[in-house]
Structure formats: structure tokens, C-alpha cells
Chains A and B, each alone.
Chain A
Amino acid sequence: MFLTETDLEAIALTLRLASVTTLILFAVGTPIAWWLARTHSRWKGPVGALVALPLVLPPSVLGFYLLVTMGPNGPVGAVTEALGIGLLPFTFWGLVVGSVFYSLPFMVQPVQNAFEAIGERPLEAAATLRASPMDRFFSVALPLSLPGFVTAGILTFAHTVGEFGVVLMIGGNIPGLTRVASVQIYDYVEALEYGNAHRLAAVLLVFSFLVLLVLYAWRPDRKRA
């Protein structure tokens, strides 16, 4: 077999993490992107900067803060324990929370750009036809910005697959639960098992290239549309 059983387990976990994160970010990121695209509030700048922070912060910083805040002495940890969920570090859902923060700008920014590109006119036109705000959003804004959503979804998914530092900080390297493919590769390299590292790394390389190829090859259609 080309890949070992633990490799396949790590890949399956990685894909599951990326899928769940992307779905959650569609729900969480869309309202934020909509607000950022439409608002004239003075909070637009600060919120936009907050959303973009994970782009520039080292994952070690994000991971460290998550570890501390989600721990028993941190505010998030206190809440999750009070709710009976327990502590999030070392769990799959802890990784999901980390990934949602980590990949947030990759969802919000393309969707926000798409919303901004629509401009006011189609929405105003819909309003004069007595479309409710909800109706305007779902019947006008959403279809017009669909390409932005596709881009955002692919980027978010791919970026979460490539996540390493945050998972390393809060995951605890538990097989099948928090040991994702990137961590598995790191372990191989550290253990001097370069052959195994090469095989899994090649799979990730090809996968990432194909995902981006889909994104870039698909872009011209968007311009025609």
C-alpha cells in the first residue's frame, strides 16, 4: 500500500475538519461579509481588521491564545465547562473552533468583495418591486455573488487542509481525533522517516494543486458570466 493506515486516517480526519469548517464559515462568514460590504458604520474598519488578523498572525499566536482561553482558566473554557461540554482542546470540535478563526478571512473577504461588486442598483431596483430585505438578499444578492461564494468555499477548504500551527498547539496529536495530515507529516520528518513524509507530502501537494487549479481554471467563466 502506498500510504499507511494511519496516513489514511489522518487524511480522512483532515477532509472532515475542512468540510465542517467550511460549512460553519458559510453560515458565520456570510452575515459578516454582508455587513462589511453594506455598512457605513465607523466600526467597519476595526471589524475588517479583526477579520483579517489571522492572515498576518503567526498560527502559533492564534493557537497559543486558543489554548489559554479554551483552557479551564480561560473565559471560553469556563463557559464550555459550565455548559457541560467540557474543555475544547484535544477534541475534534476544538480544532473546528480553531480552524473557523484561522480560515475566517478566506471566507469573508471573497464574499465581501462579491457583495460589494453588486453595487446598490440591483438591490434598489428589487426594493422598488417591493422585495423584502430577506427576499432581496436571497433572490438578488446571493445569486449575483455566487462566484464569490465558490471562491471563498474552495479557499477556506484548502486553507484548512493546509492548517498546521493551530492544530499543533491545541490538538494533542490524538490519532483519528486531532492528528491531521500536516501534523502526521511533521511527525514523520521529526522521526527521520523521510520516505513516509515524502509520500504523504506528495499527496497533499497534488491535492492542493488540483484544488487551486479548479479555482483558477474556473475563473474565466466567472468573467463571462
Chain B
Amino acid sequence: MPRLRPLLLAFSLAAPGTVCAEEAQIAVAANFTAPMKAIIARFEDDTGHSVKVSFGSTGKLYAQIQNGAPFEALLAADQRRPELLEEEGVGVPGSRFTYAIGSLVLWSADAEKVEDGPALLESGDFNKLSIANPKLAPYGEASVQTLEALGVEQAIEPKLVMGENIAQAYQFVDTGNADIGFVALSQVMQGGEIVKGSGWIVPGEMHAPIRQDAVILESGKDNPAVTELFAYLQGEKAKAIIHDFGYETE
């Protein structure tokens, strides 16, 4: 990257109306795809920097970073992986913060299926319940905690199907192969409303908070595009977008 800097500088000088525009290359957890695209569009307009994003599961992105992937920051779906990166000296100490807190929703593509979520889960009146793999995805872990809180985890086990991530858990429900599933509120919410099917937003006290942390990586610590993006993520403009997609912030 440093060797590219003069070239990037030359490009930025040629671009009108920008001061020292840089490029950031970051990795973002798949569940945050939609809000991140919206945030980046605003960020690029406001600052003139450009951001290249790779979306993927946190586990895969983490493994890629460990093996030399050229990312300058990671927006993870959990806290564990950014913490690990910090401990391993790959993440910049002190750069880590919670950029979003996820909400879980029991959702069906059928507009009338989910009226009373807990009652539906107890009745067993559905073919399959789709969740994200609890071993891999924080949303999956929260789903299992919710089932435990309701005391239905054993009754439901035979009907459980697992997606590798929350996107696949959603896909199983959206295609109708599973009647219901625990998905991220951000997947079904737009402008503060559930726009499709029917859902029950799981009360936050039924599961551990789904805190999504971001961390700057060593390769990105001197790149103003990265540090400014992190500041931007904590600003009001980005937070408004994040809330619109059903996440909470600190």
C-alpha cells in the first residue's frame, strides 16, 4: 500500500473538489451489508475518500486477515474476533468500538404467520425453524438463548435447520422452505418498519446483546480514509442510517 500512495495522491490531485482523497479497503460482516453500502455512499460524498468493501462472514474474514488479506479495518458481527485481532497485534489497540447492536426477530415470509411469537414457538405449528449456526454466528447464539429463555429448545430441536450465517437463515425462510426463522431485524426492516412478511421482535433481555465491534488493522492505521471512516461511523449521520436498518447504537 505505501508504494501506491504517490499514485493515489496523483489521482486525488486530479480530482476536482477533493482534498487528499485516499482509498480504504475494509472487510465487513455480511449482516451489515445494506447499511454499510448506504453509509459508504454518504461518506464518500462528504469526504471525497473512497472505500472498497469485502463482505463475508466474520470467521472467514478473520481467517483471511490472519493470512495476509489486504484489509485495513474489520467491521465484525461479534466482539470476539476484533478482540482476538487486537490481542494478536494485528488490530490497532484502542481503535475497537461497538458500531452497532443487533436485534433479533422471529420472522416468516407469510404476512399472517407470526402474530404471537412465543405462542407460535410453543405450539410447534410450523414445518421448520431456521436459525444461523449458533457456533459461528452471534445471531445464532442469540436465537438459541431465546429458545432457552422460552423453555422450548428441546421441543423444537427436531425442526431446527441451520444456515451458515444469518443471510442463509433468512434465505431458508424467504424461499418458504422454512415457515419461520430467527433473522436479523436489519434484514427485514427498512425505514424503521418490517416491510415484508410478519415478525416478532425478540425482547433484548431474552438473549445476550449482539454487539458488533469494529477494529482498525495495523496496515490501515496511517490511512486517513480509514480513521475518518471510523469517526464517521460514530457520528450522527451514520447512526441515523444504522437505526433505520433496525440496529441500535451506544
Contacts and interface: CB of A to CB of B under 8 A. Distances in A.
Interface of A: 67-68, 70-74, 77, 87, 89-90, 168-169, 172-174, 186-187, 189-192
Closest 7 CB pairs of A and B: A172-B161, A190-B59, A173-B162, A72-B176, A71-B175, A89-B177, A71-B177
Interface of B: 57, 59-60, 62-63, 84, 127-128, 130, 133, 135-136, 160-164, 168, 171-172, 175-178
Contacts of A71: 175-177
A172 B130 contact: yes
Contact of B162 (A67, A73, A87, A172): A172
Interface of B (DSSP majority class): mixed
Contact of A192 (B62, B172, B175, B178): B62
B164 A174 contact: no
Contact of B127 (A68, A87, A169, A174): A87
A204 B164 CA distance: 21
Nearest to A87: B177
Contact of B135 (A68, A74, A87, A187): A187
Contact of B128 (A67, A90, A189): A90
A34 B234 CA distance: 65
A190 B161 contact: no
A191 to B, nearest CB: 5
A169 B177 CA distance: 12
B171 A191 contact: no
B240 to A, nearest CB: 32
Contact of B177 (A67, A174, A186, A191): A67
B111 to A, nearest CB: 14
B87 to A, nearest CB: 13
Contacts of A87: 127, 177
B161 A174 contact: yes
8 contacts: A68-B175, A70-B177, A89-B177, A90-B177, A168-B164, A173-B161, A186-B164, A189-B63
B133 A187 contact: yes
B176 A73 contact: yes
Nearest to B133: A173
A190 B130 contact: no
A170 to B, nearest CB: 8
A187 B177 contact: no
B135 A67 contact: no
A186 B178 CA distance: 23
A172 B172 contact: yes
Most chain A CB atoms below 10 A, which of B59, B133, B175: B175
Contacts of A172: 128, 130, 161-163, 172, 178
B173 to A, nearest CB: 10
Contacts of B127: 87
A72 B168 CA distance: 17
Nearest to B57: A190
A89 B171 CA distance: 12
B172 A187 contact: no
A189 B164 CA distance: 12
A191 B175 CA distance: 27
A192 B128 CA distance: 28
A190 B58 CA distance: 8
A90 B172 CA distance: 10
Contacts of A168: 164, 168
A174 to B, nearest CB: 6
B59 A174 contact: no
Contacts of A70: 177
B136 A190 contact: yes
B112 to A, nearest CB: 15
A186 B130 CA distance: 19
Given A72-B176, A73-B176, A186-B164, 15 more contacts: A67-B171, A168-B164, A169-B168, A172-B130, A172-B162, A172-B163, A172-B172, A173-B133, A173-B163, A174-B162, A190-B135, A190-B164, A191-B59, A191-B135, A192-B62
A77 B176 CA distance: 10
Nearest to A72: B176
